[in-house]
């Protein structure tokens, strides 16, 4: 992997990750951009103890532009976007409309490919490995920044999820606090350690591997399974067999196996609803793919793992977070976890 760091016209950082060690990245961003003015504010919800980010500047961000105006496509032929190069493998840059910035964390955009109409599932294993290397590199760099407590790499795919740019991309948030979901997991893991003497995530993996009905895909170093109490219609957790706190601690063998397994999971998600009608064939499955990594200060018990889930429950029905879920944070799942795992095994390549 070759990493090349440069600057955009307004001073934001841009990083190219290339498979070719001889790749030259000397294109200059010639757009007349004004410096970014973003002042996100953290406010503590005194009723729950959760931090809420107020980022009113994001109201003006780009929303579903036409393909020829996509800011994540390569520049050229009169089009000038966020990436000056005419082609790239993987590119990472500071978000122009960040939820977190300055003393309040940081937000990066990760472009998985220069091909606008592609998807992560269509990447080769080498290219998927390059994305993993970019996630790992950014995790290491952002974790070292003063004030950063937790690094969160994720992908939103599909308008149903709320994606405003169709180009295949994800984001990385460097939180100056421990996210509410992580804090809850850490608390439960600490209680589990006190009660049993074991690690919660190691035990969850062992239980899943023992219950074959929930295992979706198993390799030498990773296992993908549907959790016992899945919240989403189709939800898969991907764990390395060896507990590590974050991406930077994976071994070469673990990194080498990951791309093939992850790509297979994504392709299975895209085949989930094919038998249910033409709608699903015309619209790829929307999903959220989320890396859970240990925070710096309180994460000793938390294990690195990836959670992949979709809000689609049938070809033409979505799982909406309505009164019970949004109002009380109490989930009701319409699909039995064992049935979801069986369906995900049925659609194997």
Q: Which residues are catalytic?
A: 169
Buried b / exposed e over 182-199, threshold 16 CB at 10 Å, is bbebbeebeebeeeeeeb
Q: Read off the DSSP letter of residue 111.
A: E
Beta strands in 135-211 (DSSP E): 150-157, 169-175
Question: Which of 95, 86, 75, 89 minimizes the C-alpha distance to 10?
Answer: 95
Are the C-beta atoms of residues 139 and 106 closer than 8 Å to each other?
A: no
Cross-strand partners of 79: 76
CA distance 50 to 43: 9
Are the C-beta atoms of residues 33 and 8 closer than 8 Å to each other?
A: yes
Q: Which residues contact 277 (CB under 8 A, 6 or more apart)?
A: 315, 316
């Amino acid at each position: 992997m070759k990493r090349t760091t440069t600057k955009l016209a307004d001073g934001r950082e841009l990083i190219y990750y290339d498979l070719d060690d001889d790749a030259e990245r000397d294109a200059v961003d010639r757009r007349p951009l004004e410096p970014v003015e973003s002042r996100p504010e953290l406010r503590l919800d005194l009723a729950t103890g959760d931090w809420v980010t107020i980022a009113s500047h994001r109201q003006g961000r780009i929303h579903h532009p036409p393909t020829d105006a996509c800011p994540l496509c390569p520049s050229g032929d009169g089009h000038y976007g966020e990436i000056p190069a005419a082609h790239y493998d993987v590119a990472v840059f500071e978000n122009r409309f960040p939820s977190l910035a300055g003393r309040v964390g940081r937000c990066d955009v990760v472009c998985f490919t220069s091909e606008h109409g592609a998807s992560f599932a269509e990447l080769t294993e080498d290219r998927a490995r390059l994305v993993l290397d970019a996630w790992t590199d950014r995790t290491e760099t952002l974790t070292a920044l003063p004030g950063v407590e937790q690094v969160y790499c994720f992908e939103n795919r599909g308008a149903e999820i709320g994606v405003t740019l169709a180009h295949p991309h994800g984001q990385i948030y460097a939180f100056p606090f421990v996210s509410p979901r992580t804090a809850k997991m850490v608390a439960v893991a600490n209680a589990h350690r006190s009660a049993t003497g074991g690690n919660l995530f190691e035990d969850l993996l062992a239980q899943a591997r023992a219950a074959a009905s929930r295992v979706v895909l198993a390799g030498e170093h990773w296992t993908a399974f549907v959790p016992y109490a899945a919240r989403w219609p189709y939800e898969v957790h991907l764990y390395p067999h060896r507990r590590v706190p974050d991406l930077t601690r994976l071994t070469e063998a673990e990194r080498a196996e990951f791309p093939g397994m992850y790509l297979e999971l994504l392709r299975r998600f895209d085949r989930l609803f094919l038998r249910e009608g033409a709608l699903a064939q015309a619209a790829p499955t929307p999903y959220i793919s989320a890396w859970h990594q240990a925070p710096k200060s309180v994460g000793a018990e938390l294990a690195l793992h990836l959670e992949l889930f979709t809000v689609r429950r049938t070809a033409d029905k979505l799982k909406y977070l309505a009164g019970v879920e949004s109002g009380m944070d109490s989930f009701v799942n319409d699909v039995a976890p064992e049935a979801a795992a069986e369906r995900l095994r049925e659609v194997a390549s």
